[in-house]
Chain A
């Protein structure tokens, strides 16, 4: 099993640019989570999906952030326009709720730097 795949692994962009982070969950997993890790705020949930439907987006900072899951094998997190305070490591995680799974498998993360 390839595990959770995230791309790109590193992204450097300039303030005001659009950034799209991508995630491929483990095949068969029906829950997908997006987390953000910063020195100031630690690890925090942004949004999560169940069967491609957003369940809780209360952690999404503001309208500049949007997330989609068009199918069971792909999700995107978009920031438009990006700001320096968005610099962080963004993790995607997945879990199989239907088979009683509780352990979240994390991807390697995308390190975003906004200049």
Chain B
């Protein structure tokens, strides 16, 4: 069975600073995908970034990057130059394959608060 662990219930970061949100995962499958979603207070789920287990390079999407350390089974999200609008819940999730649609297993989330 797959498992996602997010150990930081809440994080604070100052505007314009970088922040790292931790995510570790457990799976026996060699093929999997790792995702990060943002959930603002309005409630919608917004896709941020994806990393496949066979991808050699860390994924990047604008100010978001995924620090993928396969041996450590970690997939941390790095947000550079934080903005007030980044305040939200952030969920790490994984799928049981890569390159095709599959169900997601979510972590418990990290609430990020960006301060002035």
Contact = CB atoms under 8 A, between A and B. Distances in A.
Contact of B95 (A93, A102, A111): A102
Interface of A is mostly: strand
Contact of A91 (B45, B47, B105): B45
A115 to B, nearest CB: 21
Interface of B: 33, 35, 37, 43-47, 50, 91, 93, 95, 98-109
B44 A109 contact: yes
B43 A89 contact: yes
Nearest to A58: B103
Which residue, of A35, A42, A111, has the highest number of chain B Cβ atoms within 10 A?
A42
B97 to A, nearest CB: 9
B64 to A, nearest CB: 14
Contacts of A97: 100-101
Given A102-B33, A108-B43, A56 B103 contact: yes
A48 B106 CA distance: 15
B45 A106 contact: yes
B72 to A, nearest CB: 23
A42 B109 contact: yes
Interface string A85-115: 0000101010111001111111011010000
A42 B32 CA distance: 21
A44 interface: yes
A45 interface: yes
Contacts of B35: 103
